[in-house]
Structure 1
Amino acid sequence: MRIAIVNPNTTQSMTQAAAASAGSAARSDTVLIEVTASTGVASVESHVDEAWGALSVVTEIERCEASAERPDAYVVACFGDTGVSAAREAAAGPVVGMTEAALMTASLVAHRFAVITMPKRTLRQSEQVVRNLGLEHRCTVLAVDETVAELAEGSLHLLDLFTAEGRLALDAYDAEAIVLGCAGLADLVGPLQAALGVPVIEGVAAAVTIAEGLVAQSLTTSRALTWARSSSPSEAVSA
């Protein structure tokens, strides 16, 4: 099984970190393909960044789809699920966003849970995915006000900040699990789980296992209505 880990930004180290997290959870016979946006923004931290990131996701998936070794499934490694809906139209196989995957996973192991995302200005993107899944009555979204660019070399230096927000989530909002709200935070899973004593969910790891399950069941995106295939820009021009 071949699964592409698609990073909507241009920072290769973030792609590698996401792929490492996926590799920690993937089956031993799953081949992970690292895909980094060839153009766009270095990190997705605003609505404008998200628009560029969504375009990059679709562009890179169309390239993968045209390759001789097309992936069986895709994981979009950006919290807020940048470009996921468009990617589902473009890809033949299933597309799993790390945010939906993390939230669905959290809902299976805890009645109430909290997302800790970053930076603070991206709260609304995370809250939108929570609302779309109908989980706002079970999930609180909090934020650490640091830039995504801070994760280029890892995230352990942010452990104290995430621990403080995690304790707030447990004490003030009755959270029973924590969802890490940004790709590249995988190295916080173990230390944060030890500090808080509750499950800590990382979205890329959750997404790759869901993608594997969909492929194993021969399931892909429904074409009945919402994600019916549409013409790519190149096809539209030629037509």
Structure 2
Amino acid sequence: MKIKVINPNTTLEMTKGIEHAAKTAARPDTQIIAVSPEMGPVSIESYYDEYLSIPGVIEEIKKGEEEGVDAFVIACWGDPGLHAAREVTDKPVVGIAESSVYLASMLAARFSVVTVLPRIKTMLEELVDSYGASKKIANIRTTPMGVLDFERDPAAGMEMLRQEGKRAVKEDDAEAILLGCAGMAEFADSLEKELGVPVIDGVVAGVKFAESIVDLGKKTSKLKTYKYPEKKEFKGTLENFGQSQASIK
């Protein structure tokens, strides 16, 4: 089985960390391909960043079709481009936020997310609600650290997650904690031991869901919503997206 894990930002150091987490979680017979797009922001911390990362994600999905990939994982806690990605392949495509929320819903009655900058709180509230989990989410807790700050200073990052994780359990009555950034994978096990509740890293959850879907022999439905895009002309910077429609089944 071959799973392509796409870090939607262009910071390769972060992609290496994501690759490590994915390979640690994957079965021995699962091949992990971890990549960053050739175009996009170095980190994703706003709607602007998220939307501009999507063309790069779609390009990597299309490449995966030629690479013989069996499933895809979008490794950003905003799941950028998830629905569009499902339109350009019949292979399973899972997002790490989606996977985290569904896994947490099976493990705990209520859960909180601990993530990066305060500005993304509303974004993640909307995302969790779109997955039908608004009644299960206790809180979305933010930290003063950006995505790349966790790469630069993991000790400070761990302390921030520890503080907010403890508050989530005590003040939110959260029975599980979701780490709201793909760059937080290395902290999950230590936090779970300290907090005494399940701590879910989205990369790990995404890889395990992808493996399970492939094992079940299921593919993305092409009946209506996720059918292949209609061929049409694109202009300007996106011209190549129209040209590449010819390669879509």
Band of TM-score, shorter chain: over 0.9
- SS of 2:112's equivalent in the other structure is strand
**Counterparts of 2:153 and 2:59 in 1: how far apart (Å)?**
27
CA distance in 2: counterparts of 1:149 and 1:160, whole angstroms: 15
Identify the residue that residue 132 of structure 1 maps to in structure 2. Answer: 130
TM-score (norm 1): 0.94
- In structure 2, the CA distance between the partners of 1:208 and 1:236, relative to structure 1 (3 Å rule), is closer
2:243 matched to 1:234?
yes
Alignment of 1:15-54 (within 5 A): 15-54=15-54
Letter of the structure 2 residue corresponding to residue 48 of structure 1: Y
| 1:180 lines up with 2:189 in the alignment | no
Q: Unpaired segments of 5 or more residues in structure 2?
A: 232-240
**Partner secondary structure for residue 54 of structure 1:** helix
| AA partner of residue 197 (structure 2) | V
Match of 2:224 in 1: 225
Q: Which residue of 2 aligns with 1:62?
A: 62
> Structure 2 CA distance, aligned partners of 1:26 and 1:6?
15
C-alpha separation in 2, matches of 1:236 and 1:29:
33
Q: Distance in 2 between matches of 1:18 and 1:112?
A: 27
Q: Identify unmatched segments of 5+ residues in structure 1.
A: none
* 1:156-208, Cα deviation, whole Å (9 max, x unpaired): 43122111111221122110010000001011112211221111000010000
Give the Cα–Cα distance (whole angstroms) in 2 for the partners of residues 154 and 98 of structure 1. Answer: 23
Mapped partners of 1:141, 1:29: distance in 2: 36
CA shift at 1:237, angstroms? 8.4
Equivalent residue for 2:235? none
The letter of the residue matching 1:212 is E
Give the secondary structure class of the aligned counterpart of 2:219.
coil
Helix, strand or coil at the partner of 1:184 = helix
Distance in 2 (CA, whole Å) between partners of 1:13 and 1:49 is 18
Aligned to 2:237: none
Query: How far did residue 63 of structure 1 move?
Result: 2.0
Task: Give the alignment of 1:148-187 within 5 angstroms.
Answer: 148-153=147-152, 155-187=154-186
Secondary structure class of the residue paired with 2:183: coil
Matched with 2:236 is none
Q: In structure 2, how many angstroms separate the alpha carbons of the residues matched to 1:64 and 1:113?
A: 34
Aligned length: 236
Task: Evaluate the alpha carbon distance shift between residue 151 and residue 159 of structure 1 in structure 2; reply closer, same or farther with a 3 A threshold.
Answer: closer
TM-score relative to the length of structure 2: 0.90
Which residue identity lines up with residue 24 of structure 2 in the other structure? S
**Alignment partner of 1:152: what SS?**
helix
Cα distance between partner residues in 1 of 2:154 and 2:90: 34
The answer for the alignment partner of 1:97 in structure 2 is: 95
Query: Bigger shift: 181-190 or 153-162?
Result: 153-162
CA offsets 1:117-163 (integer angstroms, 9 cap, x no match): 11111112211221011111111211112111113346343122111
Kindly indicate whether the alpha-carbon contact (under 8 Å) linking 1:120 and 1:146 is maintained by their aligned counterparts in 2. no
Q: In the alignment, what sits opposite 2:106?
A: 108
Q: Which letter maps to 1:226?
A: T
Contact 2:5-2:74 at 8 Å conserved across structures: yes
- Quick check: 1:75–1:97 contact (8 Å CA) kept in 2? yes
What per-residue deviation string (whole Å, max 9, x for no partner) do you get for residues 48-96 of structure 1? 110111111001111222x2x3200000000010111111111231000
CA contact (8 A) 1:72 1:93 kept: yes
Partners of 2:217 and 2:246 lie apart in 1 by 33
Give the alignment's Cα RMSD to 1 decimal: 1.6
